[in-house]
Structure formats: C-alpha cells, structure tokens
Amino acid sequence: MKRPVNAQKAIVNYLIFLACLLLSGTYAIAQDSTNTFSRQDTLRGSIGPGRIGWNVLKYDITVQPDFETKTIKGINDLTYYDEGVKLMQIDLQQPMQIDSISSNGKSISFTRDGNAFFAAIRDTAAMYKIRPGTRTMRIYFSGKPIAAKHPPWDGGWIWTKDKNGNPWMSVACQGLGASVWYPCKDTQSDEPDSGAILRIIVPDSLVAVGNGRLTGKKANGNGYTTYTWTVTSPINNYNIVPNIGKYVHFGEIYDGEKGKLTMDYWVLDYNLENAKKQFTDAPRMMKAFEYWFGPYPFYKDGYKLVESPFLGMEHQSNIAYGNNYQKGYSGRDLSGSGWGLKWDFIIVHESGHEWFANNITTKDIADMWVHEGFTNYSETLFTEYYFGKEAGNAYEIGLRKNIENKQPPISHYGVNQEPPIDIYYKASNMIHTIRQVVNDDKNFRNILRGLNKTFYHQTVTTKQVEDYINKAAKKNFSKIFDQYLRTVQIPVLEYKINGYSLSYRYTNCIKGFDMPLKINFKGERWIKPTEQWKMLNLYPEGNTGFSIDKNFFIMSRQVQ
C-alpha cells in the first residue's frame, strides 16, 4: 500500500543500468533521464553476479527484540538451491551487522559493501567441481535496525507503546526493503519457494503474531516465550513481519471457493469489541474478491488481520490494520464520490494485495503498477459488487484527481527506485479504460481470474501481464499500455462539429495510438480515432450534442 517517496540519487553506472533494462524484458518511453543512481541502488535493484547461481528455497528466521535498547538479534537459517555461486550477495542494511555465517559446521568468510555482504561460498577452483543441489547456511545477525519515523511511508522497525503503556512492536519495510532488519536476498524476483518460518522471542507478558499459521508456542522458562509462525507458500521478503503486543484473538470460518478458509483477527485487548464490529468488512471483502479474482491464493496459510501501530500494509496472510476502526481511508474518501466512506479502506485495499502483489509479484519494483494499479481497482470492484456499477464507476472516476502525471508509472529497471504515486490511480484508471474497450464484463472478470490462475504464486514482468491480457481479450492493448504506463501524456480527443458531421482525432499521444472510444453523438456509438482526422456523417435527426463516455480516461477539446 505504501505511497512512494523520491528515490535516493547518486552517480549513474550507465552500462550496468542498460544491462538491467535488457534483463527486464520490457522498456520505457519518455522516462526522466535526469535520474542518477548509486552503486548501492544497483546492488539492491539488479540481478548482479552475487544473485546469480542460487535460488532461495526457505527462510527460517529467529528474532528477539529488546524494547529498551531498540536492538534485535537473530538467526536466519537459509535454505537455497546452489547452481554454482562463488560470491553470494546477502543483503542487510546498515547499521545492522552479520556476526557470522556457517554451513555444515564450517565458517564462511564474508566482506561488506555498504548494505550488501558477499559470502565466499567457494573459490574459483571449486567452481569446476560443483554439483548443483540444495544447501543451507546459518546467518547470525544483530544490531539496531533503522527505526521508522512515519510508517509505512518512512519505514523500519517500529518501537512504540499502546494507550495502556505496553510495548508494541512491528516492522514496515516495503520499498526500504526487508534487509532493514534481517539478512536475505532482498529482491522481489526471488521468493522462498517453500515459504518461511518466523520464530519470535518475546517477554511472557506479550503476544507475537507472524505470517501464516501458529505452529508453536514455547515458554522458555526465563521470562520469555517463543512463538513460531509458518508460511507454506512463496512469500515476498518485505511481507515477512513480526507483530508484538498485548494481542487477543478471535476468528471465523469462511465458506470459500476452495473450501473452508480460516479468517483470524489479532487486535489489542482493549479494541476487541471495536474489531468485532469493524472486521465484518473482511468476509464481505473475501466474497467480492473471490468473485472477481478467483479463490483466495493462500488457503493453506489462512487469512489474518493484525492490528498494527501504523495505517496498513499487505503483509501476506498477516495483513497490517491500523485504520482506527473507521470507514474510508482514516475517515476520508479518496475519491470524493461518497462511496469510499461505505467500507473500511485498509481492509479492502490491503486484502486486495493478496491477489495482486502477494499471489502475483513483479520481479522488479519498476513494474509495481501491477501491484498497486490492480489493487487500487479492487476498491472499485468492491464498491461495484455491493453498491452497483454506477457507484463503482463514480468511485473510480473520482480517483483521477489524485493523479500527478509527473513521471510515467513504470520507472527505471534494475535499480532501487520506488515508482511514482501514479502506479495507483493512473494505472487503475488505465485498467478501467481497458475494461471499457473490452466491452464485455464477463470476459473482463475472466481476465482478472485468469491472471491469478495463470501466474499463481509467481513473479512476473509487465510484458507477461500485457501479453496475457492481449491474448485473453483478443485485442491488442499495446499502445494503451505504452501510452498510460510509459509516458505522462493523457490523450486528447480533438473534435469539430459541423452541422450533422463530427470530425475527430487524437493528439497528445504516442505514434499509432488508436484506442476505440464510446461517444454520444446523435445516440451512443463507437468510434476509433487515430492521429489523423476522421469524419462521421449522420442522418439529420435529433440533437447534435457531443460527449465522451466518462469512463474512458482521456481529455477532449473542441476546435474550430
């Protein structure tokens, strides 16, 4: 959910950047050429030598926070498939420190380069003798992680207290990266295939909640308890998050498309009654989204809402909820239509990410319009499901006022740069526009469900998503994707009315842009403008008023 901030700027490594573009499988038009990037941006954002030759299979993380000193210590038992890596890049951000790395009882030497460590897995001679296979390493880590100043926007570890003065801790690290607190391969392109285990050691007076299911609770006998949470599905690094506080639990069983789904809710003890009233939006959300997107993607791990000390985040099977039990977005309607105050924004939006971001994850953060555009549109679909199509349309159109159009939604590949705000509202309105061109809501719904089935638990590129939509719709939307994702231009339909004739063309558009358009001119009809003037002559009956269907995200201008 996190709204983006400006990326850090430093010196560009042009050759590495070009290589990353080629690896991305797609391209960008009219991007801001003034951006410069540091070596650290490239190490985080690219698939360099230290990330090639090994694939993460599982994380088994143990963490023990100290609330008084704001420090943590822990272990990550990392299981990976070794294809012959020599120097393995393991990410952990300053001032956190890797204390030691070992494998099969043998110590592994390592060096540090800023926020990346390089573990010497084998020397050059051993490269010729390698037999690919599954291996494990144990990484001890400790330190004082970056503390979040304004989560989730300015992320890090969160050390706060509830209103009764009890410690309340969590993490928000989308964009900043999971390596802000634990050592990992900090890229969206490599999720642990077999999921993750999170063991959280906390004082006996507190409760720890993680992703997936509670598979162990052990009193350690020293005033501390270890809670073990297990995720069986692939999971994005930034989604693995501990929540620690005076939590109480309630839950329900949802009859879903794939059977019985556990829906669990963990809230601060004094908010139990508020949560029981507010969280009725959760099964309503599940009903709407299973209709539109297909089965909830993580039946084995369950669905969970956990009260958090910040607004919200899409932590897989562990949705962070901090909307203060209000309708809307902190009590506001982002669309201004009124419909956004009919439901709890955080429950709907962050849960929508379970399909787009957590089930379907982009390999590069430059493609995160897939996460935020479709999830932003999930708000419209939820509104439509319960209040009708016109309500959904009004909500979506109302969101356009939030579009900035300062940068294309697709930003630079292969570097650690957060995309602009338009991955939300502009990408969502592009999807809404594509839906109009499809002009078949049954097929549009099948496309959404098909995306989640075809790319189930996978990482993808923009090109894969575009190709799937084009094929499923049996229409070529390539120019539409290029126009709205890779430029800041909003197409303008110029038109002239001369008696019973309508002349029209597109301007402010890329070459070859020819999106069909529904208009009203002597009745409702379709036209297919291009950059060249076209004329429509109609029999002289009725009025000669002209309007464009407001669901298309374009502008218009009458000319003489």
Give residues with Cβ within 8 angstroms of 338, minimum separation 6. Answer: none
Q: Distance (Å, rounded) from C-alpha 318 to C-alpha 213?
A: 10
- Other CB atoms within a 10 A radius of the CB of residue 277 amount to 9
For residue 124, what pLDDT band results from cuts at 50, 70 and 90? low
Average pLDDT over residues 94-118: 96
pLDDT at 10 over 50: no
What is the structure's pLDDT at 29? 37
Instruction: Please state, in angstroms and rounded to a whole number, the distance separating the CA atoms of residues 406 and 290.
Output: 35
Average pLDDT over residues 65-72: 98
Identify whether the C-beta of residue 153 lies closer than 8 Å to the C-beta of residue 302: no
pLDDT at 539: 72
Confidence tier at 542 by pLDDT (50, 70, 90): low
Of 6 and 399, more confident: 399
522 compared with 528, residue with greater pLDDT: 528
- CA 101/CA 18 separation, integer angstroms: 33
- Write out the DSSP string of 49-62: GGGTTEEEEEEEEE
The answer to whether 492 and 508 are in contact (CB under 8 A) is yes
Quick one: pLDDT band at residue 31, thresholds 50, 70, 90?
very low
Tokens encoding 292 = 């539109």
Identify the pLDDT of residue 21. Answer: 35
The CATH number given to 492-558 is: 2.60.40
pLDDT value at position 427? 98
Angle at 191 between CA 195 and CA 8, to 5 degrees: 135
Distance from C-alpha of 127 to C-alpha of 23, rounded to nearest angstrom: 24
**Mean pLDDT across 19-38:** 46
Q: What is the mean pLDDT of residues 432-449?
A: 98
Where exactly are the structural domains of the chain?
A: 492-558
23 or 482, greater pLDDT: 482
Q: How far is CA 397 from the centre of its chain?
A: 22
Contact 57, 144 (CB under 8 A): no
Q: Average pLDDT, whole number, for the chain?
A: 92
Instruction: Compute CA distances 63 → 44, 54, 227, 369, 476, whole Å.
Output: 23, 24, 10, 32, 49
Burial class (CB in 10 A: 0-12, 13-18, 19+), 170: buried
17: pLDDT strictly greater than 90: no
126 pLDDT band, cuts 50/70/90, is: low
How far, in Å, CA of 453 to CA of 433, rounded? 23
345-352 and 369-387 helices, crossing angle to 10°: 130
> Do residues 505 and 530 make contact, with C-beta atoms less than 8 angstroms apart?
yes
- Cβ 134 vs Cβ 77: under 8 Å: no
Beta bridge partner(s), residue 77: 60, 138
Closest CA to 382 of 286, 461, 300: 286
Query: What Å distances lie between residue 205 and 208, 218, 225, 486, CA to CA?
Result: 10, 13, 9, 52
The Cα 407–Cα 416 span in angstroms is 16
Handedness of CA 58, 60, 66, 71 (dihedral sign): negative
| Rounded distance between C-alpha atoms, residue 411 and residue 364, angstroms | 10
pLDDT (tens digit per residue) in 296-346: 999 999 999 999 999 999 999 999 999 999 999 999 999 999 999 999 999
Torsion of CA 171, 175, 176, 178, to 10 degrees: 60
The percentage of the chain sitting over the pLDDT mark of 70, rounded to a whole number, equals 92
**pLDDT > 90 fraction of the chain, expressed in percent and rounded:** 86
Tokens in use for 25? 């499988």
CB-CB neighbours of 430 under 10 Å: 22
* Tokens of residue 547, six digits: 């309007």
State the pLDDT confidence band at 5, using cuts at 50, 70 and 90.
very low
The pLDDT of 355-364, averaged and rounded, is: 98
Bridge partners (DSSP) of residue 401 are: none
202 contacts: CB under 8 Å, gap ≥ 6: 64, 65, 208, 224, 225, 227, 244
**Residue range 504-520: mean pLDDT, rounded:** 97
- How many CB atoms sit inside 10 A of residue 324's CB? 14
pLDDT (tens digit per residue) in 366-423: 999 999 999 999 999 999 999 999 999 999 999 999 999 999 999 899 998 889 999 9
**Among the ranges given (6-10, 54-58, 224-228, 314-318), the one the predictor scored with the smallest mean pLDDT:** 6-10
227 pLDDT higher than 90:
yes
Please provide the DSSP assignment of 297-339 as one string.
TTTTT-EEEEE-SSSEE--TTSEEE-STT-SBBTTB-TTSSSG
Residue 377: per-residue pLDDT:
98
CB 117 within 8 A of CB 110: yes
**Nearest residue to 106 (alpha-carbon basis) of 143, 63, 70, 135:** 135
Burial of 33 (0-12, 13-18, 19+ CB in 10 A): exposed
* Overall average pLDDT of the 348-358 stretch: 98
Reading the block at residue 304, the tokens are 């969970």
Confidence band of 6 (pLDDT split at 50, 70, 90):
very low
- CB-CB contact of 222 with 64 (8 Å): no
Task: Say if CB 173 and CB 120 are below 8 A apart.
Answer: no
Q: Which H/E stretch holds residue 546?
A: strand 546-548
Q: What is the tens place of the pLDDT at every residue in 143-202?
A: 999 999 999 999 999 999 999 999 999 999 999 999 999 999 999 999 999 999 999 999
pLDDT value, residue 15: 33
Question: Residue 339: how many CB atoms within 10 A of its CB?
Answer: 26
Label residue 38 by pLDDT band (50, 70, 90): confident
Cα–Cα distance measured from residue 374 to residue 380, given in angstroms and rounded to the nearest whole number: 10
